Chains A and B, each alone.
Chain A
Amino acid sequence: MSDGDLDVLQRALERERKARRAAEDLLEKKSQELYIANSELRAWSNRLEQLVAERTHEMEVARDQAISASQAKSQFLANMSHELRTPLNAIIGYSEILLEETSDAGHPQYHADLQRIVASGRHLLMLISDILDLSKIEAGQMAVFYEDIDISMMVHEVVETLRPVIEKNRNRIDVQAAPSLGSMRVDITKLRQSIFNLLSNAAKFTENGRITVTAQRAVGQPVDTISFAVQDSGIGIKPEHMRELFVPFKQADASTSRKYGGTGLGLALTARFCRMLGGDISVDSQIGVGSTFTLRLPAQPTDRDPESAHPSLAVAQDGEKDAAQVGTTKSSALDGRSRDREAVLVIDDDPMARDMLSRMLSSEGYEVITADDGEEALRLARDRRPLAITLDVLMPKLDGWAVLAQLQADRDLRDIPVVVVSILSERKKGAALGATAYLQKPVQREQLLGALLTQRTPSIHHVLVVEDDPDCQQLLRRMLEEHGHPSRCAKNGREALSLLAQQIPDLILLDLMMPELDGFSLLDALKADPRWRSIPVIVVTARDLSEDERRRLSQDTEQLLPKGALGRGELLMALRRLSSKRSTGGASNSDVNRRPGKA
């Protein structure tokens, strides 16, 4: 090989080397670019996730705010209506007195004017009542009270009340409601008001005509249906207005209210009442011929759908649906199968809060006793031994925490469940002091009732504590004893099995790491034996659990309590939750057992 050849080769090699270096550089650059692009992508994706989380949170907050705003609005309306009624009361009352006294003293010239004042006052009063009713329905606070009534008598009473109005427009009234219709079980106030509304509409929109009220019974299963039809020969309703008949504040058209008066609330209320009573309303009308409105109601409250027995948060969004749901709730709560009257002690220094809580409770059939300060509350608690207590925190003299502490310190009273209802958000403090539930104001009806349902006195009598550490064992035993749950102790799985063979406990508190037979093996043994399978287990552990272990425990046990966070409050809450599940009978023990830990 000549030098020249060598040269050529060397140059070629050099070129290749250069080319390779360039390629390597390019690769490096590309991979760096890729890396950057990748991290950017990751950053974007993280950002996106964060944004989604933020938005979700914002929406949750907005939803909660909307719900409480709607509640606050309804509460405001309810209070406002009350405030309006008080001066109105005086206006109506004094004009009536004047009317009586002037006619006695012989001043007939004032008569007509005074009568106008009285009539307008009573009209205003009716509007306020309607608004109050509507706002109560929307707030989910309208209760239904069933009683047996004589159908024919009720219809005739309503007709008699309205006879002057009917005859004012020179109408003839015809009533077909025979005593043989018998009786029905219904909320008479709501039914009477519904028929009253239909009949006064008929009288208003009919002149020189005929109005017929017909009540009929249709035999059916499971219960008969009672229908009430109000037929008039009045002006009729245009088809395009039919749809809006039952919408609040919408009258057929604006000129209607000018000519005929009224708020446009009557039919909206009537429809809602009907649904609350488990029935419906229909209308049939022809312009210039007349209208017929028909109510159909069950002769007995029917227990239609126990699932809907919890009025949902849909109150604010869907008043119509909710009215129906609330109706079902009440009927199932207050018909023959209702629970006994049981007293709940409501402690609050604010009369309005007291009143609201009392109503929520009494509408569910609880007897309510109230106290406006801590000392009175403790006295009443000792005297009356209520089923449960709702407790406000911020009160003059003795505050709620002090009341709670005294209740807990009293052997006879500590088992009475206490629901703290406060404007403060001190849930932890409440639980630590022994409260069984903590609700922040404003309280929703269903929250309160839910909290009370989990308040039944514990049905857990005997507890087995399986724990090898003597200090921890002592602590658990003491906490259990304080709340009236006697316990036995085993220091490992094997000892536990021999105790289980002697007596089946209502609950097992189980440590995981123990000598001889550990917690997991004990759980296996429990599962394998039909006698033991349904005993609820609460795991108390100091150990960090793997994902797998967690999953397993959530299947086989009731709840996981980390030892570090173990306070009286947490354990007590766990016990209450458990006992409420058992006593409400909602779940059999085996169901309870399979339920995930954070029930």
Chain B
Amino acid sequence: MARILIVEDNPMNLDMLSRRLLRAGYQIVSAENGLLGVEAARREQPDLVLMDLSLPEIDGWEATRRIKADPACRHIPIVALTAHALTSDRESALAAGCSDFDTKPVEMARLLTKIKTLLTPR
């Protein structure tokens, strides 16, 4: 059973995402800001991280950079999620070390495909 860490400060978004991912058969851990997100990634060693980009404390880009800089968790794939549907956000998220990018509101089918692809061992 794959475990997904959701880093998201908006309680409704967190609630929606976790419920739907639970239904899809994943285990969920969550963190509500960038700093806690980095800690949770280290502590929980999830199989994948869904990272909101605009977060309090440190933003999603910085949190991604810190996770990717840590040898203990740099292997964990990160999917950036943002309400800004801007290509520049995608670029900067990928530059920060995210493996993929999706916009909110999420299209569940598309997000699930991305998650499955990233969780498939290559």
Residues of A participating in the B interface, judged by any CB pair closer than 8 Å: 82, 85-86, 88-90, 92-94, 96-97, 100-101, 125, 129, 132, 143, 145, 187, 189, 341, 351, 359, 362-363, 367-368, 370
Contacts and interface: CB of A to CB of B under 8 A. Distances in A.
Interface in B29-50: none
Which 4 A-B residue pairs are closest in the complex by CB-CB distance?
A: A93-B16, A89-B105, A92-B105, A145-B87
Given A89-B104, A93-B105, A96-B108, A189 B87 contact: yes
Interface in B1-58: 10, 12-13, 16, 19-20, 23, 54
B20 A100 contact: yes
Interface centre among B88, B95, B106 (most CB of A within 10 A): B88
Nearest to B95: A367
B23 A90 contact: no
Interface string B76-107: 00000001111110011001000000001110
A86 B10 contact: yes
Contacts of B54: 351
Instruction: Tell me whether chain B's interface is mostly helix, strand or loop, or mixed.
Output: helix
Name the prevailing secondary structure of the A interface residues.
helix
Given A86-B83, A89-B105, A341-B95, 5 more contacts: A89-B12, A89-B13, A101-B23, A145-B87, A359-B88
B66 to A, nearest CB: 13
B9 to A, nearest CB: 12
B91 A129 contact: no
A577 B99 CA distance: 42
Given A82-B83, A89-B83, A90-B12, A362 B19 contact: no
Contacts of A85: 83, 104-105
Contact of A129 (B13, B16, B85): B85
Contacts of B23: 100-101
Contacts of B87: 143, 145, 187, 189
A90 B16 contact: yes
26 contacts: A85-B83, A86-B10, A86-B83, A89-B12, A89-B13, A89-B104, A90-B13, A93-B12, A93-B16, A93-B105, A93-B106, A94-B12, A96-B20, A96-B108, A143-B88, A145-B87, A145-B88, A145-B91, A187-B87, A351-B54, A359-B86, A362-B91, A362-B92, A363-B88, A367-B95, A370-B59
A125 B105 CA distance: 9
B63 to A, nearest CB: 13
Nearest to A351: B54
Contacts of B85: 129, 132
Contacts of A97: 16, 19-20
Give the one of B12, B83, B86, B108 with max A CB within 10 A: B86
Contacts of B16: 90, 93-94, 97
Nearest to B85: A129
A359 B91 CA distance: 11
Contacts of A362: 88, 91-92
Contact of A82 (B59, B84, B95): B84
Contacts of B95: 341, 367
Contacts of A88: 105
Nearest to A82: B83
A351 B10 CA distance: 17
Nearest to B20: A97
A228 B59 CA distance: 40
Contacts of B105: 85, 88-89, 92-93, 125
A370 B60 CA distance: 12
A558 B20 CA distance: 67
A19 B85 CA distance: 97
A85 B105 CA distance: 8
Contacts of A132: 85
A149 to B, nearest CB: 13
A362 B84 CA distance: 15
Contacts of B106: 93
Contacts of A145: 87-88, 91
Nearest to A354: B59
A430 B96 CA distance: 33
A116 B54 CA distance: 30
A479 B84 CA distance: 46
A368 B86 CA distance: 16
A359 B53 CA distance: 14
Between B88, B95, B105, B106, the greatest number of chain A beta carbons within 10 A of the residue's beta carbon is seen for B105
